[in-house]
Amino acid sequence: MTSPSSQFQRIAVIAKADATARLHPTLQTLKGVLDRRGLHLVPDPQTAALLDLGQGIPIGELAKVSDLAIVFGGDGTLLNAAREFADTGVPLLGVNLGRLGFLTDISSNCLDDCLGAVLDGKYVEDRRFLLSASVDGQPTELAFNDVVVHKWNIARMIEFETWIDGRFVYTQRSDGLIVSTPTGSTAYALSGGGPLLAPGLDAIALVPICPHTLSNRPIVVHAGADIEINVCGNTDPKDVRITCDGAATLTLGAGEKLCVRRHVNAVHLLHPVGHDHFNVLRAKLGWGEMPRNS
């Protein structure tokens, strides 16, 4: 938590791509808070349209003209913003309009008080790493949650080798492999039976998707590891795709390999004072709930 300061003067506002007029009152509340403090609101195109503020600025340009970004939406909206802002150092503050909200942890109902506290310097800082995924000859893609190797347009398993720091780990036949950050351990990796990793852990989880051999279990490696995945056996690389955060997609050619490693820069998140990751898990995953009487 920092001491009160005026470090946030230009506030980028990012709304989810399918934002509707129902978001308008919440954005008006935000604008009122910023106006009373003499701070400048820098809208993305969705926010600009809802508040009648002109064209707005594309998300890829917002970080150049802001020193704080407030993201309205679910975790998917924040994931996209995190990839765009990762190399800028501009912090992100998430307002939950989605269903789960592991990352966007401010309720729109208490926006006025929570945002005021953050602008007064009362917040908890949280830095989390991303993954970079690269295939020979293709642009590197970033992932805040996970890099997923998966089958494509076929109804059978794919076969691939996994290497860590140049050491052979295994040959696996499965529907694919999830390479997850601690942030992503509550996403697809959780559905695949992977472990929940505390956000501050310097670790990466490798979670098989429906493996042929049941002894192929999730493993956790150091976040500094270099992970390489090669398609092998009778699998045609054309039947394999690599997806980053469920968005960007890479393809494999014959003899090409996927390389996954920790990205050099971290995402800078802000949370309200009192933020507790385990409280979030209890609330979102229903831990400790008593069964209802029939």
Strand runs labelled E in 50-145: 68-73, 92-96, 106-107, 124-135, 141-143
Burial label for 256, CB within 10 Å (0-12, 13-18, 19+), is: middle
Task: For residue 294, give the amino acid letter.
Answer: S
Calculate ∠ Cα 171-260-72, nearest 5°.
Answer: 125
Selecting among 18, 35, 67, 75, the annotated active-site residue is: 75
SS3 for 277? helix
Q: Which residues are within 8 A (CB) of 133 and not within 5 positions of it... i.e. 6 or more apart?
A: 140, 141, 142, 143, 147, 242, 244, 250, 258, 259, 260
SS3 for 115? helix
Task: For residue 125, give the amino acid letter.
Answer: E
Cα 56 to Cα 45: distance, rounded to the nearest angstrom: 4
126 among known catalytic residues: no
Quickly count helices (H) and strands (E) in the chain: 7, 17
Paired residues of 203 in beta bridges:
222
Paired residues of 159 in beta bridges:
173
Cα 150 to Cα 111: distance, rounded to the nearest angstrom: 39
Q: Specify whether the CB–CB gap between 162 and 169 falls below 8 A.
A: yes
Q: Which residues are catalytic?
A: 75
